[in-house]
Structure 1
Amino acid sequence: MMSKSEFRNKAISDRESQSGDEVKLKSQKIFERLISLDSVKNARSIMTYIDFRNEVQTRLLIDYCLSNGKNVVIPISVFKGRQLIPSQLMDPDKELQISKFGLLEPKPEYVRVFDKEELDVIIVPGVAFDKYGYRVGYGAGFYDRFLASIDNESVVKVGVAFELQLHDSVPHDSFDATVDIIVTEDRIIEICKKD
């Protein structure tokens, strides 16, 4: 069996093998499925990542949320302590810059720290997911820490992924956070929690 890091590297390689057109088309289908979810339709505040490299693209979702009066919240990565700080985004064309790590994040004057307990939906990226809601990230644990730190049990955690990122099982540890729903270009998977 592959180690978690070997699994991660293979999953990233698989995702990176897609063309830009494939990523765009599949991301559009994922967006259409996302906005069909009651949790997304009814949410007041949605946290989403801003895509990087060949991740599922999120700009359509950001624009949809802003045009429908929803609070859009994006993560700021703080590498000391490996934390995510939620910040409200109001104008993606004006407020973002490329960080020293190559991620789009708010310019300092547009950082608006948002109370994580007020989030209704969190869109969770991942390198790979399985049918139990486990995910493999990039290995730094940012999302595992962030999701574990939220006390609001009603927040809905939605993993977005391409079908090729979905596996029967992924390597995971007991402390890894899970998602409640996975949305791919082909389907919506509601995770049945094991009691």
Structure 2
Amino acid sequence: MDVCSVKNALRLQQRDARDSMDPLTRQKASAVACRHAIEAWEQLRINRNGDKLTLFSYLSFGSEISTAPLIEHCWSQGDRVLAPRVDPATRTMELREMDQHGDIVPGIWDIPEPAPTCKEWSPQMWAQIDWVVVPGLAFDRLGGRIGYGGGYYDRFTAQVEAGKRNSGCAGPLYVSLLLPGQLLERVPMEPGDLRVDVLFTTEGSLDCDYAKLRND
């Protein structure tokens, strides 16, 4: 079976498991994982001498782990919060800055997204983002990730890397919030697939160890 077929089978399996999770269990897991993320976010603020930070996060939909506690914390601290507006025709994302819940509207497939009136961040600005919260269905300790198959975040990362070269910025840290059952031994990856840097689970934070890849 080729990698694409393995990925699709895993997507179905993981989505079914997530959809069948008790909503209260999901809510509690979201709160705990976000708490661990907030602790790391505040440590970053200390490291930056209290500067305002910039978060780019998806807006949760359906049975996804909730990003709301992290987003609300950032708003409470005066940080910049960006979220994606998806263009299915071009299969790309626009990044829009939101200041409050009132900036969120139903988008394509009723997935929440920033209103069209929200300020857009051009691709040249993306390297200034501190964290990118990446959605997914399954992850591993090497930063491997199974997304939804659209490739939006893979293409986004390629644009960020180009912006880093042009701007000299260090670029963002890629993180993910995980529900129980989403951390697997290994997920299939292809060249060009985005790997995340840090996983936040109900157990705490996990730095992904890319170095092990060289020894496999």
Relative to the length of structure 1, the TM-score reads: 0.92
Q: For each residue in 1:4-39, what CA deviation from the matched residue of structure 2 results, as whole angstroms up to 9, or x when unmatched?
A: 100110011111111111111000001110011157
1: distance between equivalents of 2:26 and 2:44? 24
2: distance between equivalents of 1:160 and 1:133? 12
Question: Structure 2: which amino acid aligns with 1:56?
Answer: I
Q: 1:40 to 1:143 in 2, by over 3 A?
A: farther
2:183 aligned partner: 166
Matched, 1:20 2:23: yes
Q: For each residue in 1:105-144, what CA deviation from the matched residue of structure 2 results, as whole angstroms up to 9, or x when unmatched?
A: 12222x2112212201111110111111011111010111
2: distance between equivalents of 1:29 and 1:181? 15
Matched, 1:157 2:174: yes
Whether contact under 8 Å (2:128, 2:171) holds in the other structure is no
Deviation, 1:160, is: 1.2
Where do residues 53-92 of structure 1 align in structure 2 (5 Å cutoff)? Answer: 53-92=62-101
2:119 aligned partner: 112
User: Which stretch of the first structure deviates more once superposed, 171-180 or 94-103?
Assistant: 94-103
Unaligned runs of 5+ in 2: 46-51, 165-169
1:132 aligned partner: 142
Question: Structure 1: which amino acid aligns with 2:82?
Answer: V
Deviation, 1:147, is: 1.6
Between Structure 1 and Structure 2, which shows a larger proportion of helix residues?
A: 2
Question: Structure 2: which amino acid aligns with 1:23?
Answer: R
Q: 1:27 to 1:101 in 2, by over 3 A?
A: same
Unaligned runs of 5+ in 1: none
Identity %: 25
Matched, 1:144 2:154: yes
Deviation, 1:174, is: 1.1
Q: Does the residue aligned with 2:202 lie in a helix, a strand or coil? A: coil
1:32 aligned partner: 35
Matched, 1:121 2:138: no
User: Which stretch of the first structure deviates more once superposed, 42-51 or 19-28?
Assistant: 42-51
Matched, 1:179 2:196: yes
Whether contact under 8 Å (1:182, 1:188) holds in the other structure is yes
Whether contact under 8 Å (1:40, 1:121) holds in the other structure is no
